[in-house]
């Protein structure tokens, strides 16, 4: 097993001694959470008020006592910021997301900026369960800045076992959501909205295998959807954001960078100019420990390429990471 580093996460949080950073080559791992050492489900978005990039993620509690699956519950949404995408600073967790009493579970944030407002969709589980037999819902929040979120609603979707929202503007003023419905074979379902508040469920959309974490983006003139089927990432392409054709998987073979052994999981893709970067997490200890013990996670980034037919990701490639501000900022 390739260790990320023998030192505790708190001691190496501010990345040190990587001379290639001057060339904008990202370190590996890209990010470790200095509190619980298990950031998962990353999403990267530009913070217009702070003029930097934010990474929001599920802050799993890998260093806490684990009873059943308790460490993946009771989680908050972690926040890290970066000016260039190379060096990330832990900023804490999003405050004031609780809309009912108690300690509860927040997973897999998705954020979209539209009409001068941020919209966030978060997977929610009441309490801190020790098993999977509990309701899960997708919660909608809005904010004028990315610290002060206002609870809007629990979205009425296709079941009471829905998680992992992805939202994309498929045409001007029309938004589509893809999400995992665990009550329906863990397939990707979709919904559509004209205002980001009211959603109409369309039904199942990707049904070939069980999976989670759908993510949709456009790159190289192609509409892409990726999913996490726990053996790498499934890749699909479409001409209409509805009918998807399965392509070759990516991140299904171990990498050689520190912490990049094992499969890539639950990813977010950021497209900047003609480049696309995939942010994903790994469990670097799972080669040598049982899944219920290899809880530690880290975030990695790699570059995507395409020939217009398939999507490719050489996770061992040395590349420059050039994140840029969105147009119109």
Assess contact for 213 and 263: CB atoms under 8 A.
no
Element spanning 9, H or E: helix 9-12
- The β-bridge partners of 168 are 176
Contact status, residue 245 vs residue 311, Cβ threshold 8 Å: no
Identify the sign of the CA torsion 229, 231, 232, 236: negative
- Look at the alpha carbons of 94, 100, 106, 109 in this order and tell me if their dihedral is positive or negative: negative
First and final CA of the chain: distance in angstroms? 43
Looking at residue 290, what is its pLDDT?
61
Low-confidence ranges of the chain (pLDDT < 50): 1-21
Please give the pLDDT value at position 93. Answer: 98
For the chain, the domains span 23-313
Give the per-residue pLDDT at 291: 59
Q: Which CATH superfamily is domain 23-313 in?
A: Glycosyl hydrolase domain; family 43 (2.115.10.20)
SS3 content of the chain, % helix, strand, coil (to 5): 5, 45, 50
pLDDT of residue 329: 79
Residues 6+ away with beta carbon under 8 Å from 315: 251, 255, 257, 260, 264, 300, 302
The model carries a pTM of 0.92
């Amino acid at each position: 097993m390739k260790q990320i580093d023998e030192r505790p996460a708190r001691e190496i949080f501010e990345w040190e001694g990587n001379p290639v950073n001057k060339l904008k080559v990202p370190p590996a791992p890209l990010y470790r959470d200095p509190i619980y050492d298990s950031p998962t489900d990353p999403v990267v978005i530009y913070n217009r008020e702070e003029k930097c990039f934010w990474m929001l993620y599920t802050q799993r509690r890998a260093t806490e006592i684990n009873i059943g699956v308790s460490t993946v519950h009771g989680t908050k949404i972690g926040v890290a910021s970066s000016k260039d995408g190379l060096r990330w600073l832990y900023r804490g967790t999003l405050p004031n997301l609780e809309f009912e009493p108690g300690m509860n579970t927040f997973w897999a944030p998705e954020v979209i900026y539209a009409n001068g407002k941020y919209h966030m969709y978060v997977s929610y589980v009441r309490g801190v369960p020790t098993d999977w037999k509990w309701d899960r819902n997708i919660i909608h929040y809005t904010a004028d800045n990315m610290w002060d979120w206002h609870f809007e609603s629990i979205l009425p979707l296709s079941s009471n076992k829905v998680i992992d929202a992805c939202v994309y503007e498929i045409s001007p003023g029309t938004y589509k959501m893809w999400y995992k419905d665990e009550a329906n074979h863990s397939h990707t379902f979709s919904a559509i909205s004209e205002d980001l508040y009211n959603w109409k469920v369309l039904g199942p959309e990707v049904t070939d295998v069980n999976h989670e974490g759908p993510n949709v983006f456009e790159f190289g003139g192609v509409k892409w959807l990726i999913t996490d089927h726990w053996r790498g990432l499934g890749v699909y392409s479409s001409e209409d954001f509805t009918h998807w054709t399965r392509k070759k998987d990516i991140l299904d073979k171990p990498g050689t960078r520190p912490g990049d052994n094992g499969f890539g999981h639950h990813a977010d893709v950021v497209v900047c100019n003609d480049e696309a970067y995939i942010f994903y997490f790994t469990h670097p200890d799972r080669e040598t420990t049982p899944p219920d013990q290899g809880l530690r996670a880290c975030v990695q980034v790699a570059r995507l390429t395409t020939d217009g037919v398939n999507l490719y990701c050489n996770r061992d490639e040395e590349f420059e990471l050039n994140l840029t501000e969105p147009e119109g900022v």
